[in-house]
Amino acid sequence: MKKKFKKTATSLLLTASLVCGLSACSTAKDTPKQESTQKSTQKSDGAEPSSQGGAAGESGQTTAAEGEKSFSYWLSIHAFTAKTMTDHNDHPAAKRLEEQTGVFVEYINPAVGQELEQMNLLLAAGDNLPDLMRFNFKGQYRGGVSAAVADGVLLDATKLIEENAPNFMAFINSDEDLRRGAYTDDGILAYFGSIIPAEEMRGLPFQGPMVNKTLLDKAGLDIPETIADWEEMLAAFKEMGVRIPFSFGCDNKFAGLYNAFSGAYGVPAGSRFMDENGTAKFGPMQEGYKEFLTLFHKWYQNGWLDPDFLSKVQNKEVRNDFDAGEMGAGLLHISSVIRLPLVSVQHGKEEMEAVPAPYPVLKEGDQTHFRHYVTNFNQTPCYISADAEDPLTVIKWLDYLYSPEGIQEISWGTMGDERYEDTYYVDEEGKKKQTEFVTNNPNGLSPEEVMRQYLLRDTAMVWDWEMQSLMYQDERQQKGWSVWTDHTDFDYVMPDEMTMTADENDEFSKIMGDVETYVNEMSAKFIMGIAPLDDYDKFIKTLESMKVGRATEIQQAALDRYFAR
């Protein structure tokens, strides 16, 4: 009989910033459904393809076979996956996983874009939670994972995981930082069921300063390295008539800056804390933050900074402006070096070239301590419900996804199984390669769409480097990694895996809710000249009155506990 969790759980405040790396990278709106995701040829048993893309009896199963182990799994569906199916129960790879593990999984998929709302409703109901949930309880549940365990929402499965998940434990025991980050301060394994990037990927930057080299060459300038170089370039772009010399995905909170430019002054951008050699500091309280705002105010006044920067989103307006050749430079994904030459022509412009530029510094030879990087644990972890009737089955199933066999299934798919299209082959050197069905899909799907619709990538637990490296073979992309890591590290970025106690979390949230709004609003006003920079001291005093000092003490305590694990 399923037990009810404590009603205190219904008082949680799930914020609106749901981490949705599994669901909202792009929109599926108005996209026609593609053809069957399994071969449409008739099978030897005479099964006909079903309307959802799998052969009858091979997908769309809704109940476990007699005697078969099973559990329910609340899982966001990626927008690319959602183009051809409404839930993972119809996914052709779901049957393959069932065959490999001997476990039937009933997938419960919230609608794309409604994940937070539907989780709120699920928790408010107070009972009968799914056995497994992929949701950011650490960041979205008041008090984090430990509070959710104390409230009877989640199961503390630490001991069961340590004893029954050898593949996962091998990963985290192989690296001191992974092991430290996997546990909360009170010893709960909080990152079981989280994607662990391959060792080669951890720490790599995929976002950074990007320049339209075609425009740069016309200006007769070299790739900028210092702030002074950037100002010379942006002034030249302005004189050349470039509509937007520089922009970034501010989205009202400066996240899309990836701490470039502010990092040159030793601070993060926006309402963020920093870890300076083990000491927690609030960025806007540091002198460097005023210098950063002064720089951007100058750029805004000179018409170098996009006048509409405040509301722009990187993967929407910023990328579109850059693709159209309307923007000279910005903060963008490494894929822009391949994308711009292709897309600029589609926009009616000459074929343009993009080139990564180093994270800027004040003086040549300076080292900065902020940049984008792939974290040790990526995406949203999975958590076992306190209602789960058979947690051991759940743990063993998840652990399979950390095994070599599970990684191959999720990363590469099938070869030689007549029921499915081959998605990879092994070349003469023994290396796995994607088939043309993936790289040049006859239905016009991009490789990413094929991978999502033919492989159950939404359940991935490991980013396989052999697979990922195929996506970044181009020398221009690899050069970007080199450029963005030269004289730049991420030593001052606060650890993602740091945790607060429930009481600390409550107090911190009450303080920082208003502080974050105030800092982001005032930062924009200082940049745009709505508030004079002469008022910066008043800004600091207001932050002090809002108890930022106490919030910093809480962060310091959490940081100390993190390093003491």
- Lowest-pLDDT range, 40-44, 201-205, 551-555? 40-44
Which tokens sit at 314?
């990187």
| Cβ–Cβ under 8 Å, residues 192 and 182 | yes
- Lowest-pLDDT range, 2-16, 191-205, 340-354? 2-16
Q: Please tell me which of 321-330, 343-352, 379-388 the model is most confident about, judged by mean pLDDT.
A: 321-330
Mean pLDDT of 215-241: 98
| Percent of the chain topping pLDDT 70 | 88
**Nearest by Cα to 303 from 238, 255, 232:** 238
Only one residue has tokens 């928790």, namely 123
Residue 505: pLDDT band with limits 50, 70, 90: confident
- Evaluate the CA torsion angle 168, 130, 94, 81 in order and state its sign: negative
Sorted by sequence, the CB contacts under 8 Å of residue 56 that are 6+ apart come out as: 47, 48, 49, 50
Question: Which pairing describes strands 354-356 and 207-212: parallel, antiparallel, or unpaired?
Answer: antiparallel
Residue 34: pLDDT band with limits 50, 70, 90: very low
> Does position 27 have pLDDT exceeding 90, yes or no?
no
Helices (H), 363-487: 391-400, 404-411, 436-439, 447-454, 465-471, 475-485
Residue 506: pLDDT band with limits 50, 70, 90: confident
Q: What is the pLDDT of residue 8?
A: 40
Burial class, 11, CB count within 10 angstroms (exposed 0-12 / middle 13-18 / buried 19+): exposed
Which tokens sit at 182?
């996997």
Residue 18: pLDDT band with limits 50, 70, 90: very low
> Does position 317 have pLDDT exceeding 50, yes or no?
yes
| Cβ–Cβ under 8 Å, residues 89 and 50 | no
Q: What is the pLDDT of residue 26?
A: 35
Strand order through the sheet with 132-134? 103-108, 69-74, 132-134, 382-384
What does pLDDT average to over the chain? 87
Per-residue pLDDT tens for 350-395? 999 999 999 999 999 999 999 999 999 976 899 999 999 999 999 9
Q: What is the pLDDT of residue 66?
A: 64
Task: Give CA–CA dist 536/530, Å, rounded.
Answer: 12
Q: What is the pLDDT of residue 546?
A: 98
| Cβ–Cβ under 8 Å, residues 546 and 283 | no
Only one residue has tokens 């191959």, namely 408
3-state secondary structure of 445: coil
Which tokens sit at 499?
């945790």
Q: What is the pLDDT of residue 329?
A: 98
Task: Give CA–CA dist 479/210, Å, rounded.
Answer: 12
| Cβ–Cβ under 8 Å, residues 370 and 292 | no
Helix (H) and strand (E) counts in the chain: 21, 14
Query: How long, in residues, is the chain?
Result: 565
Mean pLDDT of 508-518: 95
State the amino acid at position 502 in one-letter form: A
Q: Between 19 and 417, name the one with better pLDDT.
A: 417
Task: Give CA–CA dist 133/291, Å, rounded.
Answer: 44
> Does position 209 have pLDDT exceeding 50, yes or no?
yes
User: Helix 166-173 vs helix 391-400: angle between axes, to the nearest 10 degrees?
Assistant: 60
- Lowest-pLDDT range, 38-47, 230-239, 347-356, 373-382? 38-47
Q: What is the pLDDT of residue 68?
A: 83
- Lowest-pLDDT range, 54-58, 105-109, 298-302? 54-58
State the amino acid at position 29 in one-letter form: K
Per-residue pLDDT tens for 427-479? 999 999 999 999 999 998 888 889 999 999 999 999 999 998 888 888 899 89
